[in-house]
Amino acid sequence: FFFAVAMDDKYDAIVLGTGLTECVLSGLLSVSGLKVLHVDRNSYYGGECASLNMEQLFEKFGKGAPDPSLGKTHLWNVDLCPKLLMANGILVKILRNTVAARYNMEFMLIEGSFVLRDGKIHKVPVTEKEALSSGLMGMFEKRRAAKFLSWVQDYEPSDPKTHKVPSGNSMWGGSEGVNLMSVPMRDVFKQFGLEPGTVNFLGHAAALQHNDDYLDQPAHATLLKLKLYAESVNMYGSSPYVYPMYGLGDIPQAFARLCAVYGGTYMLHKPVDKILWEDGKFAGIQSGDEVARAPLVVGDPSYFMLEPGKLKKAAQVVRAICLLDHPIPNLPDGAKSAQIIIPQSELKRRSDMYVICTSFVHKVCPDGWYIALVSTTVETGDPESELLPGLRLLGSIREKFVQVSDVYEPAGSGAGDKAYISKGMDASTHFEGCGEDILDLYRRIMGKEYDVNVPCASE
């Protein structure tokens, strides 16, 4: 890495914070030829997605020294905001074409993707074959779901012939099919005669929608999410999710290396005392007596908290990191890693609840140990109690660390003030929203789309 002693200089872009979004963008911008300065007030990489050893975790949550029975502290890599990667998702495609092979990054499959229905854990069916064998549906509903999933897998936005609902689902017909850019998803489910329970698990556990707002939005986006889920499952045969060996901490660092290889300058443990503006546009940053200038800035919301009109609060999230000495009970086949989605209708809430579990097989904890996370969007004045339905699924918990975080989003696009601010991490346990934010920020900064299918050139 190239770490500067002093930062006085002019750059093409300044990046504030070493969270995942910021590190990916600093790497992509450097590869695109920009001279980048990357600054973080912390002495470690990762921001919200940092990985901590056991001593660091206990210190962060003010819990004193860890019990010796937890094993050696360096064998723990506990992600503060663990999220899974879709095997064919945006972030995996970026990783594959930039840093994965270059830095020998290894990933392991998460064993199962599940949904809670009527208090019981079920595997999420997303293929015609899985639908026909699922315990989530009765015999006739299985056939309707299988027909729907087969239609979804054939759907191609550019081919109107794939937009036609099969015969027997009357209302829509004609050789031109239906305009899925305008027809709401609710109507698509209705045309296939799917029951509310089926709609619920498909929308929340397969399309990964956070709440039911999507039902009244154009169907196209949800169909693409369902296709992505099925494609990701088909890549490895049992689950759509992968997770990096040794935790998420290596991903920001890999992109930091990429940025440095292409001439980027890194400064950790460097406070930003002031953000400089000229005529309403970003001009630079000041740290002590040093000033660095650039025509644009990329940063996480925490660096803009004191800047009027730059942020808006989107939500509040509560997360419980739990250390277990056993796998999650009642998972099919005794899975050692999993995602479980508890749809909002199951809980009589507006937002879904998420449970994920990684384990010693991912090299994030000592042998025989498991790390579980329960998270949701806060809806009451007692956030921790909202997690109880998810916590009950875990069985006995050796240690629990609870954190409530405000989630901020940029108030503007950055077009006027040249401040391109990332979105905070939501309650979901996958990176698709983060990947979409990265591509959107890149497009706004560079004025063109980033092609996730084109490998970056060798340095």
Cβ(184)–Cβ(221) below 8 Å: no
Read off the pLDDT band of 177 (50, 70, 90): low
User: What DSSP assignment string belongs to 333-390?
Assistant: GG-SSEEEEE-HHHHTSSS-EEEEEEEGGGTSS-TT-EEEEEEEE--SS-HHHHTHHH
SS3 call for 216: helix
3-state secondary structure of 395: coil
Q: What is the pLDDT of residues 103-120, one digit of tens each?
A: 788 999 999 899 999 999
Element (H, E) at 104: none
- 52 bridge partner residues: 78
Q: Which of 91-95, 343-347, 384-388 is modeled with the greatest confidence?
A: 384-388
Least confident of 162-166, 201-205, 240-244: 162-166
DSSP state of 75: G
Q: CB–CB of 77/44 below 8 Å? A: no
Whether residue 3 has pLDDT greater than 90: no
Q: How many residues are present in the chain?
A: 459
What token pair was written down for 205?
Answer: 């556990």
Amino acid identity at 387: L
Lowest-confidence region among 41-45, 102-106, 213-217, 295-299: 102-106
Work out the percent of the chain whose per-residue pLDDT is above 70. 95
DSSP characters over 219-235: HHHHHHHHHHHHHHHHH
Q: Of 444, 446, 440, which Cα lies nearest the Cα of 21? A: 440
CA-based angle 427:148:216, to the nearest 5?
50
Pairing state of beta strands 13-16 and 297-299? parallel
Q: Report pLDDT for 2.
A: 46
pLDDT band at 128 (very low <50, low <70, confident <90, very high): confident
Sign of CA dihedral 423, 50, 358, 388: negative
| pLDDT tens digits for range 322-373 | 999 999 999 987 899 999 999 999 999 999 999 999 999 999 999 999 999 9
Tally of CB atoms within 10 A around 402: 15
Listing DSSP states for 327-341 in one string gives PPTT-GGG-SSEEEE
Burial 288-315 (b: 16+ CB within 10 A, else e): eeebbbbebbbbbbbbbeeeeebbeebb
What residue has token string 């010796």? 68
Report DSSP letters for 289-349, one per residue.
TEEEE-S-EEE-GGGGTTSTTSEEEEEEEEEEEEEESSPPTT-GGG-SSEEEEE-HHHHTS
So what's the pLDDT on residue 175? 44
Residue 455 has pLDDT above 80, yes or no: no
Res. 435: pLDDT tops 50: yes
Q: Facing residues of 399 across strands?
A: 323
Round to whole Å and give the CA distance between 204 and 68.
40
Residue 8: partners with Cβ closer than 8 Å, 6 or more residues away = 290, 291, 292
Is it the case that residue 1 has pLDDT exceeding 70? no
Span 182-215, pLDDT tens digits: 999 999 999 999 999 999 999 999 999 988 999 9
Q: What sign for the dihedral angle of Cα 134, 224, 209, 364?
A: positive
Long-range contacts, 141-147 (Cβ 8 Å, 24+): 141/194, 141/195, 141/198, 144/192, 144/193, 144/194, 144/198, 145/194, 145/198, 145/202, 147/192
Q: What is the mean pLDDT of residues 382-396?
A: 97
- The better pLDDT of the pair 59, 44 is held by 59
pLDDT of residue 133: 83
CB 89 within 8 A of CB 432: yes
Q: What does the mean pLDDT of the chain come to? A: 91
